Structure 1
Amino acid sequence: MTTPVRLLIHGASGRMGQALLRLAAEEPGGHVVAAVSRSGNAVLPLQVPQFPATALEAVPDFDVAVDFSLPEGFDAVLALCLSRGAALVSGTTGLDAARKQRLETASASIPLVWASNFSLGVAVLHDLVARAAQLLPGWDCDIVEAHHTRKLDAPSGTALTLGAAAQASGARPHYASIRAGDIVGEHVVQFAAAGERIELVHRATNRDIFARGALHVATRLHGHAPGRYRVAELL
């Protein structure tokens, strides 16, 4: 019988953290051994030990940290994974250039995945955008994203990732952001020329798809060699 992968949930009080904890029981390959939140007072399942962010070093041994926190909390969990030799799966957005560079450096020591979006649909959309940009040189490229009013970063991490895929294939993406109501996440990538346009669209109606994807990736990342992996490689 395969031993479940020991998971640390970092950012347990957030929307994604709560979804991860709720859905972890449905992921047969993983077991949550601890959860970390800023205050240490998040609403958690009774069997999950909880720690405040100030006591991160006290968490028990784990195989993979699943991080959906804020940029200021990201540094600590990355350092913890490096000191423990554990893998990292992170969906924390809004990382600056210095933090992105620390991710690259860390990938020489531990296996890790950073992604702005963990849904299978967005992984496919990423490839479609790159293909469209390659086939439509000179077309205008615009990315419009919409999220709930509590989302802080704009453009969204997913929009920037899609834009990077378009730019790598020769397009020059422009961005627009909408923050309204309780929108889970919508991304429209439009290519336009005189007399015609193409729209590639992904709409998420339930953030459980992101949590399930992150848990799936975490259980499959464990045991891999150090390096930086893409969601599509592990789905």
Structure 2
Amino acid sequence: MPPIAPRIAIVGVAGRMGRTLVAAVEQDSNATLAGGVVEPGSSLAGADIGELAGLGRRGVVAADSLEAIVDDFDVLIDFTTPRVSLANLAFCSAHGKRIVIGTTGLNDEQLAELDGYRDRVPMVFAPNMSVGVNLTLKLLETAARALGDEGYDIEVIEAHHRHKVDSPSGTALKMGEVVAESLGRTLKEHGVFTREGQCGPRSDTEIGFATVRAGDIVGEHTVMFATEGERIEITHKASSRMTFAKGAVRAARWVAGQQVGRYDMQDVLGLKG
């Protein structure tokens, strides 16, 4: 079993989220910064990852492959792209490592591929690692059961920075899924992701989505339950990537002690059941 303070490696260590993850690991006394990976052939290979994160030298240099640091870490944290995350999941499975995946934008085929590893590797996969967001999901479950079948229209509104490549966000989709499942619906049947032109009035059972991409917005999500005479809004706003990074490190510490399986942040926080 990995040590109580797991040795953590970070993929994409030179990126915005990667640098924040380095800082989050360094702030956690129950985790050890063990390695970081940059793209193959990157000029940043060999750089001190503490310096990449603006923290000063930490004596741990960036590698350009997981193979180069395979003996140095227990848990890998990956916030990259679906293709890269799946390749890293396969690597962790083959080498007895644990993994935390915060990547969004996986399609149905990629999600099925990821799920195929549930019996081979301990993993935490969640579209949002924020503790606050995951508490919000529990609130949405309660609100949907109380309101969703009582004439309340349900809309999910999300906003992110201009560089985000997937839409709606993974968190928005997860919020919609929680609401839909609480009401015995599915997003495939009841999710409405575009409205344009003469689209007619909304149906009673649809769950609408609206997306904003602008500036440096870290992440804002609101689920609206609206009916005649009142509107209830459940909102989460993130002002720093650090909230996601700290959640990911918490997940890494937790999964270090788990058997093989596919887990999410609800498991990490003990919110299931």
Q: Please tell me the TM-score bracket, short chain as reference.
A: over 0.9
**Given that residues 64 and 86 in structure 1 are in contact (C-alpha distance below 8 angstroms), is that contact kept between their aligned partners in structure 2?**
yes
- Pairing 1:90–2:93 present: no
Q: Secondary structure at the match of 2:223?
A: strand
RMSD (Å), alpha carbons = 1.6
- Pairing 1:192–2:204 present: no
TM-score (norm 2): 0.80
* Equivalent AA in structure 2 for residue 58 of structure 1: A
Residue 227 of structure 1 corresponds to 261
User: Residues 1-235 of structure 1 correspond to what in structure 2 (within 5 A)?
Assistant: 3-38=4-39, 39=42, 41=44, 44-45=49-50, 46=57, 47-52=59-64, 55-61=65-71, 62-136=73-147, 137=149, 138-170=151-183, 172-235=206-269
- Alignment gaps of 5+ in structure 1: none
Structure 1: how far apart are the matches of 2:264 and 2:81? 21
Greater C-alpha Rg: 2
Structure 2: how far apart are the matches of 1:172 and 1:102? 29
**Given that residues 192 and 198 in structure 1 are in contact (C-alpha distance below 8 angstroms), is that contact kept between their aligned partners in structure 2?**
yes
Using the TM superposition, give the Cα deviation of residue 40 of structure 1 relative to its aligned residue in structure 2, in angstroms: 5.9
Q: 1:129-187, CA deviations, whole angstroms, 9 ceiling, x for partnerless residues?
A: 11111111142110100111111111111000101001101264211110111111100
Residue correspondences, number: 232
Using the TM superposition, give the Cα deviation of residue 230 of structure 1 relative to its aligned residue in structure 2, in angstroms: 2.3
Structure 1: how far apart are the matches of 2:62 and 2:87? 16
Change (3 A) 1:77 1:184: same
**Runs of 4+ residues over 3 Å off in structure 1:** none
Structure 1: how far apart are the matches of 2:134 and 2:43? 33
Question: Structure 1 or 2: larger strand share?
Answer: 1
* Equivalent AA in structure 1 for residue 11 of structure 2: H
Structure 2: how far apart are the matches of 1:158 and 1:31? 28
Using the TM superposition, give the Cα deviation of residue 198 of structure 1 relative to its aligned residue in structure 2, in angstroms: 0.7
* Equivalent AA in structure 2 for residue 86 of structure 1: K
Residue 192 of structure 2 corresponds to none
Structure 2: how far apart are the matches of 1:224 and 1:75? 20
Q: Secondary structure at the match of 2:94?
A: helix
Change (3 A) 1:215 1:147: same
Structure 2: how far apart are the matches of 1:172 and 1:116? 22
Using the TM superposition, give the Cα deviation of residue 36 of structure 1 relative to its aligned residue in structure 2, in angstroms: 1.1
Q: Higher mean Cα deviation, 27-36 or 80-89?
A: 27-36
Q: Higher mean Cα deviation, 39-48 or 223-232?
A: 39-48
Using the TM superposition, give the Cα deviation of residue 7 of structure 1 relative to its aligned residue in structure 2, in angstroms: 1.1
**Given that residues 120 and 232 in structure 1 are in contact (C-alpha distance below 8 angstroms), is that contact kept between their aligned partners in structure 2?**
no
Change (3 A) 1:33 1:40: farther
TM-score (norm 1): 0.93
**Given that residues 145 and 156 in structure 1 are in contact (C-alpha distance below 8 angstroms), is that contact kept between their aligned partners in structure 2?**
yes
Structure 1: how far apart are the matches of 2:207 and 2:256? 35
Q: Higher mean Cα deviation, 37-46 or 188-197?
A: 37-46
**Given that residues 86 and 114 in structure 2 are in contact (C-alpha distance below 8 angstroms), is that contact kept between their aligned partners in structure 1?**
no
Structure 2: how far apart are the matches of 1:97 and 1:14? 26
